[in-house]
Amino acid sequence: MSTTHRDIAEPGYGSADGSGVIYQEDVVRSVWARRLLAAFRLVLGFTFLWPFLDKLFGLGYATPSARAWINGGTPAQGFMKNAEGPFAELFKSMAAPWADWLFMAGLLGIGVALLAGAGLKLAAIAGAVLLFMMYLAEFPLGQEGMTNPLIDSHWIEALGIAVCAATYAGDTWGLGRWWGRIVGNGILR
């Protein structure tokens, strides 16, 4: 009996090794494509971890030392209080200490998951929510200086994380393979 692509790649059908866990090579046949997806995952992970570190310690890039979270800064509240566009009032009303904790936990969790290569499905969901909220807070429609009135880097990053999760990019140069044996193919994968 031959194995079809459907037999391997869809959840519930199991992998080529018979364990029921789907691995990246079951979905992405090319070694170079797997390596490029892993590199993409690492770059995306760093794009989330870096702002976490900068906002936590005030490294002087986007966040000066005086506005660091450890020095009493408010990483999400400052952003939300300066929201513009049709959703500005919504974000201004949510500017509270809990928003800082949630925002920083999101940056850290998504960044660590992407860098480690484990928990990519959960990171994709959390990343999509975080990026969508950031997109709405900066809603570009009608803003001066925008080159594209609807699509910006938030969409690209959210789709990138989803691609990494869907292709099990954590299996290459990450802990995804090991993590998959522990948690299976569910949402924690």
Q: Provide the percentage of residues in the chain whose pLDDT is more than 90.
A: 76
**pLDDT for 19:** 80
How far apart (Å, rounded) are the C-alpha atoms in residues 183 and 187?
9
What is each CA distance from 47 to 52, 114, 134, in whole angstroms?
9, 10, 14
**Is pLDDT at 29 greater than 90 in this prediction?**
yes
CA-CA distance, 126 to 67, in Å (whole number)? 25
Question: Is a pLDDT exceeding 90 seen at residue 139?
Answer: no
Q: What distance in Å separates the CA atoms of residue 6 and residue 37, rounded to the nearest whole number?
A: 21
Q: For residue 11, what are the contacts with CB-CB under 8 A and spacing of at least 6?
A: 22, 185
pTM: 0.88
Calpha distance 78→104 (Å, rounded):
13
**Model pLDDT for residues 49-73, shown as the tens digit of each residue:** 999 999 999 999 999 999 999 999 9
**Average pLDDT rounded to a whole number, residues 102-122:** 98
Residue with tokens 């999400």: 76
Query: Torsion-angle region of residue 139: left (phi > 0), alpha (psi -120 to 50) or beta?
Result: beta
- DSSP codes of every residue in 56-116: HHT-SSSS-GGG-GGGT--HHHHHHHT--STTHHHHHHH-SHHHHHHHHHHHHHHHHHHHH
Of the candidates 166, 142, 139, 144, the residue with the CA atom closest to the CA atom of residue 155: 139
